Amino acid sequence: MPHQQWNPSPEQSDHALRLVHQSMVIDLHAHPQAIMPKFVRRTAEKRLGLPHDPLDNLPAAGINYAVVTAVGDRLGTGWRVGKSPMAAVEAQLTAATVEARLITEPTNTCAGTTRIILGVEGADFLGHDLTRLHDLHQRGVRLVGLMHYADNALGTIATTITGRERARDRRRGLTTFGREFLGELNHLGMVADLAHADKDTTITACEVSTKPVIASHTAALAVRDFRRYISDEEIHAIAATGGLIGLWPASMRGKAMRDLDDFARHASHIAELVGVAHLAVGTDKNGVPDYADGYTASPDMINLAAALLKHGFDDNDVVAILGGNAHRVLQQQPDDAPPSPPTHNEHTLRSDGTDCE
Ligand SMILES: [Zn+2]
C-alpha cells in the first residue's frame, strides 16, 4: 500500500516559502543531469522513475548556491569510453557548466540567481598524483569527496553501490596517501567531503584535517539503521572540525527516509548531539532514484523547511540549516591566500534561465 502523502500545514508552507526566498539557501550535494549519458538518463527517468530535476530550476526554487558534483570513481568515468579517468571528470565538469548555462566571472550584482560551485565525488581518478589536485583547483573545483562506491588510494567506503558492506577483514581507514591528500586539500582551501567514507576513514580524516570537513549527504545511524548513515561518534568528530552533516532526503526504496518527518527526526537527533550549527542540506539532486515522501526535486526545498518548522526548529535554526552553516564552511581559503573576499570561481544562473550580465 502506498505511504500516506506527506504534507505540511498551509501556515507552515507559507512560512517556509518566506524563509527559503528571504535567506541564503545552499544545496551541498547536487549532480548535473549530464552525470550520465543522455540515453541512460532517459531510460532511468522512464524505467526507474529517476526524478527529472534539471539544474536550471535552481534559481526559481530559491537556491542560492549548489555544489554541482562530477563523479570520479569508475561508476562516473566508465561511461566515457576511450577517455582517461581524469579526462572523463573534465568532460563531466564541462557538461555541468554547459548544462547550467554558466558564466565564468563571479558576480554579486545579479538578483534571483544561483551560483554553482564545482565539486567531485570519488577521488579515484586522481590516482596517486597530488599535482592533479592543483589542476582541479585551477579549474574552479572547490570541494572533493574522497570516496564514492569503491575503496581507493585514500581510504575505504561505507558501502558498495548495492548497499552492501565490504568484507570485515579488509584493510580499513584513511591511508598514508589519504593523509597527504587531505593536507593538500586543506592547503588549497578545498572542502573535504567524507560522504561514502567508512567510519575508520571518517574518524581519522577528522583528526587529521586542519579545516572543517563535511559529510554532504547522509543522516544519523542512531535514528535509522541504514549503512550510508553515520554513527554518533562520526557526527561528533565532524562537528569537532567545525564541519557539517548535510541531511539527505533520499528514500532508497524505503530503506532510508520514508517521509519528511523522518528528515526532521534526523535533524533533531544531530542538533541534540552537536548543535544546529553543524547541520546543512545535501539533496543529491540527479543522484538518487527516489526521495522521502514530500520531496521530489529542488522546488521542494520549501517542504524541507516546513518539516523542520513542524518539528520545532525556529526561524534562526531553519535559516542556518538551509544555508547559513554551509555558507560559513564553504568560505575555506588557501593557506597562502592574501586576506580578501572569498572567490569560489562561481558561475551564476538567473531565475529566468539566462546568464547574468
Ligand atoms: Zn553520493
Return the axis-axis angle of helices 301-310 and 260-274, rounded to nearest 10°. 60
Q: Rounded distance, CA 162 to CA 92, Å? A: 23
Question: 122 alpha carbon to ligand 1 midpoint, in Å?
Answer: 9
Beta strands in the chain, from DSSP E residues, in sequence order: 26-30, 65-71, 113-121, 141-145, 191-193, 214-218, 244-247, 279-281, 347-350
Question: 287 alpha carbon to ligand 1 midpoint, in Å?
Answer: 7
Question: 15 alpha carbon to ligand 1 midpoint, in Å?
Answer: 30
Q: Supply 97's cell numbers.
A: 557548466
Q: Rounded distance, CA 212 to CA 273, Å? A: 18
Say whether pTM exceeds 0.75.
yes
Question: 286 alpha carbon to ligand 1 midpoint, in Å?
Answer: 10
Question: 285 alpha carbon to ligand 1 midpoint, in Å?
Answer: 10
Question: 354 alpha carbon to ligand 1 midpoint, in Å?
Answer: 29
Q: What is the DSSP string of 120-135?
A: EE-GGGGTT-THHHHH
Question: 67 alpha carbon to ligand 1 midpoint, in Å?
Answer: 12
Question: 319 alpha carbon to ligand 1 midpoint, in Å?
Answer: 24
Question: 74 alpha carbon to ligand 1 midpoint, in Å?
Answer: 13
The confidence score (pLDDT) of residue 7 equals: 82
Q: Of the ranges 16-20, 341-345, 349-353, which is most confident? A: 16-20
Q: Over 90: is that where the pLDDT of 347 sits? A: no
Give residue 167's pLDDT band: very low, low, confident or very high (50, 70, 90).
Answer: low
Question: 22 alpha carbon to ligand 1 midpoint, in Å?
Answer: 29
Q: Specify whether the CB–CB gap between 182 and 192 falls below 8 A.
A: yes
CA dihedral 158, 164, 168, 172 (to 10 degrees): -20
Q: How far is CA 123 from CA 72, 154, 196, 290, in A?
A: 6, 8, 12, 25
Question: 143 alpha carbon to ligand 1 midpoint, in Å?
Answer: 13
Question: 193 alpha carbon to ligand 1 midpoint, in Å?
Answer: 10
Residue 324 φ/ψ, nearest 5 degrees? -60, -45
Lowest mean pLDDT among 87-96, 118-127, 164-173: 164-173
Q: Over 60: is that where the pLDDT of 127 sits? A: yes
Question: 14 alpha carbon to ligand 1 midpoint, in Å?
Answer: 31
Question: 166 alpha carbon to ligand 1 midpoint, in Å?
Answer: 17
Residue spans per domain, the chain: 10-333
Q: What is the average per-residue pLDDT within 180-194? A: 96
Question: 330 alpha carbon to ligand 1 midpoint, in Å?
Answer: 18
Q: What is residue 269's DSSP assignment?
A: H
**Over the stretch 226-264, which tens digit does the pLDDT of each residue have?**
999 999 999 999 999 999 999 999 999 899 999 999 999
CA dihedral 118, 124, 126, 128 (to 10 degrees): 150
Q: Supply 49's cell numbers.
A: 522513475
Question: 288 alpha carbon to ligand 1 midpoint, in Å?
Answer: 8
Question: 128 alpha carbon to ligand 1 midpoint, in Å?
Answer: 22
Q: Of the ranges 96-110, 115-129, 218-232, which is most confident? A: 218-232
Q: What is residue 101's DSSP assignment?
A: T
Residue that the C-alpha cell 537556491 belongs to: 63
Give residue 344's pLDDT band: very low, low, confident or very high (50, 70, 90).
Answer: very low
Q: Over 60: is that where the pLDDT of 88 sits? A: yes
**Over the stretch 33-60, which tens digit does the pLDDT of each residue have?**
877 777 777 887 777 777 788 888 898 8
Question: 168 alpha carbon to ligand 1 midpoint, in Å?
Answer: 22
Second-level CATH architecture of 10-333 = Alpha-Beta Barrel (3.20)
The confidence score (pLDDT) of residue 130 equals: 92
Question: 196 alpha carbon to ligand 1 midpoint, in Å?
Answer: 7
